Amino acid sequence: MMGSSEVLIKARGLTKRFNSFTAVDGIDFEVCSGKCVGFLGPNGAGKTTTVRMIYCFLPVTDGELTVAGLDVKTQDRQIKGLIGVCPQEDNLDPDFSVIKNLQVYARYFDIPKQEATKRAEELLKFFALEEKRNAHVESLSGGMKRRLIMARALINQPKVLLLDEPTTGLDPQGRHLVWDEIRTLRKQGVTIILTTHYMEEAEALCDRILVVDNGKIIQTGAPKELIKQYVGKDVLEVEYDEQMVQTLKQELPDVEVEVFGDQVRVFAKQHGSFEQIIKQFPDKNVTIRNANLEDVFLKLTGRRLRE
Amino acid sequence: MMPKLTYRVWKVWRRNAEVFTKTIFVNFIPSMLEPILYLAAFGLGLGAYFGAEVFPGGASYIQFIAPGLISIAIMYGSFFECTYASFVRMYFQKSFDAIIATPISVDEVIAGETLWGATRATINSTIVLAVVAAFGLASSPTALLIPVVAFFGGLLFASLAMCFTALAPSIDFFNFPAFLFITPMFILSGTFFPIPDVIQGAALGALPLTHVVNLTRGLLTGNFLPLAGLSGVSVALLGLAWLAVATTVFFVLSIHLMKKRLIK
């Protein structure tokens, strides 16, 4: 593995336009090797488009993008050899069994057959798919398919693993299994870029998060820092009550009160800020929780429904 | 302008070949039964109503249709592989997207698909050739060259098919080329009856199956027949030239159209 300070992916003014629509609007970012970086944003923010430019699937309209010092515009073949891609859509080969999917994919990377089979067996073991070795791909559950796609993405022992919404559509068990595997890969030093709109996923897996919206990076930082900076520590949630809102505003002038519909959310910078207030309203159904990335996200990108 | 192709084309070809060999039984038996049915029903059944040696070159009816059946297998084998089957792989299975994420390029994926279509044409028509030979209808050793014609003829139909696939908004779209292009060729290219005088020029100019039929018929019998006022040798040379030019044009065009479709 490389030193952790090495910049593996570098984008400068990276832009992607589809006709008149600008999907990615002049973004700059760097990904260092061994890190897990998350692109977090609402639908249509430009996450997938960015990832697709990294693996040379979409040509760059403007700006610079390099992977391991190679230019995506001219050295796409070399770059594709260094990257493992786990796309959003299931594109496993339904004409082949589980093991054959890995073997055929390995051939696309010029991996000799014996070596391919060895790696395939190891990956099936790692992703707990050994029992499904000879099963037909169509017979796998959603979670198994996702894990097989991840196994396939690792067959060329990539320097960078791109995970485009790796857990979308999975049940909680499937999702946690995938998370565990991503964490293990991280520990092994694999550089990971993932896109997600699940906040807890970004929080659980990423060293650094790039919050994207309308094709721009609107904020970056470690998940904990972003939460601390934009939201604080505690969040109180309660059904709207005029008297309670007034009391909160009077007694805790530092907190931020947000009313939407019949719900109130109050954000405090300090732990334990709300204890006194709750005692005054014992019959209210109040929830106090830790601030999370979802709060940051909604704060930064607004509540408007996308698409 | 010209597509950049490397040895990786064969990796795409090999993927399809491996799927084919897995299902060889369902692929093999129908391709063999169909020509037997045609030769028996049309050649022997319908042929009983015609006198011997009434068809061009002094052929009986069953002798006349034999090269037609081989040529139809060439056209169907490649055209349907690179329309319906390629469309399924591209659109429903997203297999092209998966392969393009590896060091293989779009150009190579399309070229691999097209070469596989030509291979299907060769396999299917060679089965028909074997049946035809078993009926005693291959009278010249030049018949052994028919698989070569099959491959290059198949390459043309596969390239044409790939152009339609690149333009197809949905799988139902293939009804247009199938009924408006393939079926007329199936009937009018000198397959089941000699091409009527009035359309001989048009058939030579616009129906590529005509050239495949002429070449196949010539190789099967060792006798190239004159057509539309041209000598037998001229017809054969025209056919080779026509196929070479059209295949090059449509092969390159198909890759361009596919790139336009797949890379935004």
Q: Does B15 touch chain A (CB under 8 A)?
A: yes
Of A102 and B34, which is predicted with more confidence? A102
Contact (CB, 8 A) for B106 and B96: yes
Q: Is residue A298 part of a domain?
A: no
Asked if residue A184 and residue A45 are part of one domain, the reply reads: yes
On the question of pLDDT at A80 being above 60, the answer is: yes
Q: CB–CB of B22 and A93 under 8 A?
A: no
Are residues A239 and A140 part of one domain?
A: no
Does the CB of A260 have a partner CB in chain B at under 8 Å? no
Identify whether residues A43 and A191 lie together within a single domain.
yes
Number of domains in chain A: 2
- Is A199 found in the same domain as A135? yes
Within this chain, do residues A169 and A248 fall inside the same structural domain, yes or no? no
- Segment A218-244 shows an average pLDDT of 85
Confidence class of residue A124 from pLDDT cuts 50, 70 and 90? very high
Within-domain flag for A299? no
Looking at CA atoms only, how far is residue B104 from chain A in angstroms? Answer: 7
Residues A50 and A100 in one domain: yes
Is residue A302 situated within a structural domain?
Answer: no
> Which residues of A fall within a CB distance of 8 Å from B19?
95-96
pLDDT value at position A303?
Answer: 61
Q: Are residues A102 and A13 part of one domain?
A: yes
pLDDT, mean of residues A233-245: 84
- Which residues in chain B have Cβ-Cβ distances shorter than 8 Å to A73? none
Cβ contacts below 8 Å, chain A against chain B, sum to 59
A190 shares a domain with A58: yes
What's the token pair of residue A179?
């998370």
pLDDT at A2: 44
What is the average pLDDT value for chain B, to the nearest integer?
94
Residues written for chain A = 307
| Chain A residues inside the 8 Å CB shell of B14 | 107
Amino acid identity of residue B109, one-letter, is V
Residue A300, in any domain of the structure: no
How close B11 comes to chain A (CA, Å)?
6
In a domain, A204, yes or no: yes
pLDDT at A1: 42
Give A153 to chain B, closest Cα distance, Å.
Answer: 10
Mean pLDDT of the A134-138 span: 95
**What is the span of the domain harbouring residue A277?**
232-291
* Short-list A48, A156, A136, A158, CA closest to A92: A136
Whether residue B38 is predicted with pLDDT greater than 60 in this model: the reply is yes
In this structure, are A113 and A215 located in the same domain?
Answer: yes
Any idea what the CATH number is for the domain that residue A173 is in?
3.40.50.300
Higher-confidence position of A197 and B247: B247
Confirm whether A296 is domain-assigned. no
**At A280, which CATH number?**
3.30.70.860
For A56-78, the pLDDT digits (tens) are: 999 999 999 999 999 999 999 99
B99 interfaces chain A, CB cutoff of 8 Å: yes
Mean pLDDT of chain A: 89
Answer yes or no: do B98 and A18 touch at CB < 8 A.
no
Closest-approach residue (CA) in chain B for A107 = B11
How far does B259 lie from chain A, in Å, by closest CA? 11
At B186, the amino acid letter reads F
* Cβ proximity of A193 and A162 under 8 Å: yes
Q: Distance (Å, rounded) from C-alpha B70 to C-alpha A232? A: 77
- Residue A126 domain flag: yes
Q: A75, A91, A137, A148: which to substitute to probe chain B, counting the most B Cβ within 10 Å?
A: A91
Q: Supply the pLDDT for residue A3.
A: 46
The tokens of B135 are what? Answer: 């009926």
The A208-213 sheet, strands edge to edge: A83-86, A160-164, A191-196, A36-40, A208-213, A216-221
